[in-house]
């Protein structure tokens, strides 16, 4: 086993990991570990853009209000203030790092997305924002002394006397496990979208950071809140492809399989209602019409607007036989974004000294029960910057315990089922989609919880990337399902038919910790 040592180890090379690495390299030596190639991540698929209050009729205060309204009572107000107040400063960093945001007559162009009161979404290459961000950041990283190890999967967090000492990682080329030591370990491993059968997420997004952090003794919170994107291309034999929120923002309308526009039946904001409302409404319409899809229609918009504003979507659909300027786009919801994750304070710190989390894998409670579109790229940089600032401080700020009202749990022991279905990735994803998906009920959650617990007991020791990922997915599946079972209400993205209303009693967070005594 070789030993390597540096000041910062960043796990993950999406927006959070690369941005943090670029800021941290001014303060010490930096190693980035990433399990695929550098640009294998969700970031590069982001289309819509990144929210920032810089328009004439906008303000950080209005952005704050919209974010908190979408979060359905569970946003941390201080964290949202930080998000909206520090946004412009971090966007300036992205511009400095070379992200070519779209402009018109020398001014950055802003678009509007669902549940934002005003246009405030910056974009690049029309609908290729994430690709441009990933390209610019990785190019910058390569021009510095930052060391990047690709095809290197972090498999265990090393902790001694309550302090992080490093990480173990599987070298994808040699199959050997190596140890890396550091002063600060930053998890930027993204969410857990691969947990569900239909997903917009990249194959690398398997909840590794959450699973590793939980095993190391960190706290995991709000994982019952999983956002399903309402409009993902649904064509036989074609992998799910996101049709950005911005398409509805520009005037796209939803019609059911019979051609009827339906969103006004469910919400006053119609197509611009929050994602959870639109996703559930689509599920109901699909059920009503007996179809596995609805249609997003932009044929009433000018073809020039459609092809210049959404060149990527236009081209992808055309390549698969749908000219969106002439006919409606078949869509259905798919798993998209995890609001919860590794619990951090407003400096990205976990409850383990020296262990930080940022980006989608972290939960600073900015999104509450439902993320506002285009706030996640922003969260990654705002809180990513604070991680680096925190490591440069000499005095420790308050680490922030769970509030007295929050419920801290360990994962419950469950009696293994005598006969559980055989475990494989598709079986796991189908179980999560069917029982822990957009519309949940206690009975289905209970069934899923028992199957997942049985699977967890039978998992073999992982030895390669796929088996590590499957182990991590099963653990994350258990955390999501147990959290959904505990929350006996409906709020934001978490909807239960047996508890269809929000309850004031549940204006609190579920926290899981391995050694919690409950
Ligand atoms: C299709 C799509 C469109 C989106 N559009 C938008 C948008 O318009 N605006 C917006 O704000 N958000 C959008 N999002 C969400 C946003 O893209 C993500 O939340 C954000 O990119 C997450 O960045 P990240 O750096 O945290 O993680 P990611 O970009 O997912 O990167 C995670 C990294 O961690 C690495 N990794 C994971 N596990 C390990 C391990 N064990 N060892 C080593 N490396 C590991 C991965 O290989 C990867 O490099 C979209 C998401 C998707 C899927």
| Tens digit of pLDDT at every position of the chain (518 positions) | 445 899 999 999 999 999 999 999 999 999 999 999 999 999 999 988 999 999 999 999 999 999 999 999 999 999 999 999 999 999 999 999 999 999 999 999 998 887 899 999 999 998 899 999 999 999 999 999 999 999 999 999 999 999 999 999 999 999 999 999 999 999 999 999 999 999 999 999 999 999 999 999 999 999 999 999 999 999 999 999 999 888 998 899 999 999 999 999 999 999 988 889 999 999 999 999 999 999 999 999 999 999 998 999 999 999 999 999 999 999 999 999 999 999 999 999 999 999 999 999 999 999 999 999 899 999 999 999 999 999 999 776 666 677 777 889 999 999 889 888 999 999 999 999 999 999 999 999 999 999 999 999 999 999 999 999 999 999 999 999 999 999 999 999 999 999 999 999 999 999 999 999 87
Query: What distance in Å separates the CA atoms of residue 445 and residue 373, rounded to the nearest whole number?
Result: 27
Give catalytic residue positions.
Answer: 275
Residue to mutate (ligand 1; options 23, 46, 152, 339; most atoms within 8 A of CB) = 46
Tell how far the Cα of 503 is from the centroid of ligand 1, in angstroms. Answer: 32
Q: How far apart are the first and last CA of the chain?
A: 38
- Cα 270–52–231 angle (5° rounding)? 35
Query: What distance in Å separates the CA atoms of residue 356 and residue 360, rounded to the nearest whole number?
Result: 13
Strand partners, 376: none
pLDDT, position 1:
45
Q: What are the backbone angles phi and psi of residue 470, rounded to the nearest 5°?
A: -65, -45
pLDDT, position 184:
97
CB-defined site of ligand 1, < 6 Å: 11-17, 33-36, 40-43, 45-50, 129-130, 153-154, 188-190, 200-201, 204-205, 208, 242, 337, 359-361, 374-377, 380
Residues ≥6 apart with Cβ < 8 Å to 298:
247, 250, 251, 252, 306, 324, 325, 329
How many angstroms separate the Cα of 55 from the Cα of each of 63, 110, 197, 446, 447? Answer: 11, 7, 38, 47, 49
Tell how far the Cα of 11 is from the centroid of ligand 1, in angstroms. Answer: 12
Burial label for 168, CB within 10 Å (0-12, 13-18, 19+), is middle
Query: What distance in Å separates the CA atoms of residue 195 and residue 474, rounded to the nearest whole number?
Result: 8
Residue to mutate (ligand 1; options 21, 39, 42; most atoms within 8 A of CB) = 42
Query: What distance in Å separates the CA atoms of residue 248 and residue 350, rounded to the nearest whole number?
Result: 37
Query: What distance in Å separates the CA atoms of residue 395 and residue 387, rounded to the nearest whole number?
Result: 14
The residue whose CA is least distant from atom 33 of ligand 1 is: 12
> Whole-model pTM?
0.96
């Amino acid at each position: 086993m070789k030993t390597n040592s540096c000041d910062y180890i960043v796990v993950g090379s999406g927006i959070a990991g690369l941005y943090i690495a670029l800021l941290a390299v001014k303060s010490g030596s930096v190693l980035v570990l990433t399990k695929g190639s550098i640009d294998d991540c969700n970031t590069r698929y982001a289309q819509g853009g990144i929210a920032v209050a810089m328009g004439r009729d906008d303000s950080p205060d209005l952005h704050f209000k919209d974010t908190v309204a979408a979060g359905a009572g569970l946003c941390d107000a201080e964290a949202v203030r930080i998000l909206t107040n520090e946004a412009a400063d971090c966007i300036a960093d992205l511009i400095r790092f070379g992200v070519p945001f779209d402009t018109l007559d020398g001014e950055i162009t802003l678009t509007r997305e669902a549940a934002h009161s005003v246009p405030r979404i910056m974009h690049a290459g029309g609908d290729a924002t994430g690709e441009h961000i990933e390209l610019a950041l990785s190019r910058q990283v390569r021009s510095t002394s930052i060391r990047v190890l690709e095809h290197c999967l972090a498999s265990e967090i090393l902790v001694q006397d309550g302090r992080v000492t490093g990480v173990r990682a599987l070298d994808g080329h040699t199959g050997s496990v190596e140890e890396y030591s550091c002063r600060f370990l930053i998890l930027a491993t993204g969410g857990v979208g691969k947990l569900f059968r239909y997903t917009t997420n990249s194959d690398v997004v398997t909840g590794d950071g959450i699973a590793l952090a939980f095993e190391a003794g960190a706290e995991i919170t709000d994982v019952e809140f999983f956002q399903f994107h309402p409009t993902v291309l649904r064509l036989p034999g074609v992998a799910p492809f996101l049709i950005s929120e911005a398409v509805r923002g520009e005037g796209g309308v939803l019609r059911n399989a019979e051609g009827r526009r339906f969103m006004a039946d469910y919400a006053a904001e119609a197509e611009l209602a929050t994602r959870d409302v639109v996703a559930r409404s689509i599920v109901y319409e699909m059920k009503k019409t007996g179809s596995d899809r609805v249609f997003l229609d932009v044929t009433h918009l000018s073809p020039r607007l459609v092809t210049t504003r959404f060149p990527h979507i236009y081209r992808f659909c055309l390549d698969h036989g749908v000219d969106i300027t002439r006919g409606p786009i078949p869509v259905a919801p798919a798993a998209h974004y995890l609001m919860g994750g590794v619990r951090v304070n407003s400096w990205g710190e976990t409850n383990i000294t020296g262990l930080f989390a940022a980006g989608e894998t972290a939960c600073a409670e900015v999104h509450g029960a439902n993320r506002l579109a285009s706030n996640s790229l922003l969260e990654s940089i705002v809180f990513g910057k604070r991680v680096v600032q925190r490591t440069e401080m000499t005095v420790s700020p308050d680490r922030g315990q769970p509030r007295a009202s929050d419920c801290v749990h360990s994962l419950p022991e469950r009696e293994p089922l005598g006969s559980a279905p055989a475990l494989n990735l598709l079986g796991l994803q189908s179980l999560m989609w069917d029982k822990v998906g957009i519309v949940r009920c206690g009975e289905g959650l209970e069934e899923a919880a028992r199957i997942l617990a049985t699977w967890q007991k039978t998992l073999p020791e992982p030895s390669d990337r796929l088996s590590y990922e499957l182990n991590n997915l099963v653990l994350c599946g258990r955390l999501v399902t147990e959290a959904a079972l505990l929350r006996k209400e409906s709020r934001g993205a978490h909807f239960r038919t047996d508890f269809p209303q929000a309850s004031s009693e549940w204006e609190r967070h579920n926290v899981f910790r391995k050694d919690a005594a409950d």
